Amino acid sequence: MAILYGFHAVSARVKQAPASVEEVLVDQHRKDKRMQQFIDKVKASGIKVSTADSDRLEKAAGHKQHQGVVAFAKELAKSNDLFEIIETHGKNTLLLVLDGVTDPHNLGACLRSADAAGVHAVVLPKDKSVGITPVVSKVACGAAETVPVITVTNLARTLEEIQDAGVWCIGTAGEATDTLYDADLKGPIAWVLGAEGDGMRRLTREKCDQLVQIPMIGSVESLNVSVASSVCLFESLRQRQFSK
């Protein structure tokens, strides 16, 4: 059973797969226009809506920032076979590999960008990585429900297997000679990014086919991983769909 909360995350699931939503709880004290419009849409989809006090909402969400909306839903069936996904999308494969991202807000933002840029799967290591929590789902605004998130035991070995499947693995590193804009991103690509600060682990970095840097002319030395992933993914999208 998945617990979703916040207007964006719940609305996205109601729109995408209303049959999977078993019940939606709403704040019994909220009578504003936004809430009423939300309730009308949920009821129009045939979903049970119940009112609840703030204590029950907070307990259900496990978090205070629920905006007065919590949903109980079935897990959506998504392919968790990474190599089936690569085979299906072939030369158009676009993956995002995140090494050491432990902040749920960062992961949620990465998933939101991944969905927008057309990423086919996000790969996470089991260790030193946050999973799909209610906070991640809320920040992702529904993307946690649409983008396959695949957790692997050995990230370095998985990168080797991704390469064997014909996917070029590109990592980001501030000391790289090539820039993001030097890379050819039209073929099957896996972007590999680490959390800000330590970045990718040494073995992860060594497994990449290519390292690139995001050119910056300001005073900051690095970008938040969610911002960096957005820059990389949308440059991939630009090269694939909009470059001549």
69 burial level (CB within 10 Å; 0-12, 13-18, 19+): buried
Average pLDDT of every residue of the chain: 91
Matching residue, tokens 């007065």: 68
Kindly list the domain boundaries of the chain, sorted by start residue. Answer: 2-73, 82-242
pLDDT in tens, 159-204: 999 999 999 999 999 889 999 999 999 999 999 999 867 789 999 9
The annotated binding site is made up of 194, 214, 223
Query: What's the confidence (pLDDT) of residue 203?
Result: 94
Residue 50 has pLDDT above 60, yes or no: yes
Q: Do domains 2-73 and 82-242 have the same CATH topology?
A: no
Q: What is the CATH number of domain 2-73?
A: 3.30.1330.30
pLDDT in tens, 52-102: 999 999 999 887 789 999 999 987 656 578 999 999 999 999 999 999 899
Which 3-state string (H, E, C) describes the chain?
A: CEEEECHHHHHHHHHHCHHHEEEEEEECCCCCHHHHHHHHHHHHCCCEEEEECHHHHHHHHCCCCCCCEEEEECCCCCCCCHHHHHHHHHHHCEEEEEECCCCHHHHHHHHHHHHHHCCCEEEEECCCCCCCCHHHHHHHCCHHHHCCEEEECCHHHHHHHHHHCCCEEEEECCCCCEEHHHCCCCCCEEEEEEECCCECCHHHHHHCCEEEECCCCCCCCCCCHHHHHHHHHHHHHHHHHHCC
Considering the domain delimited by 82-242, tell me its CATH architecture: 3-Layer(aba) Sandwich (3.40)
Q: Can you tell me the distance from the alpha carbon of 91 to that of 88, in angstroms, rounded to the nearest whole number?
A: 9
The annotated binding site for S-adenosyl-L-methionine is made up of 194, 214, 223
Q: Which among 65, 79, 64, 61 is positioned nearest to 25, based on CA atoms?
A: 61
Q: What is the pTM of this model?
A: 0.75
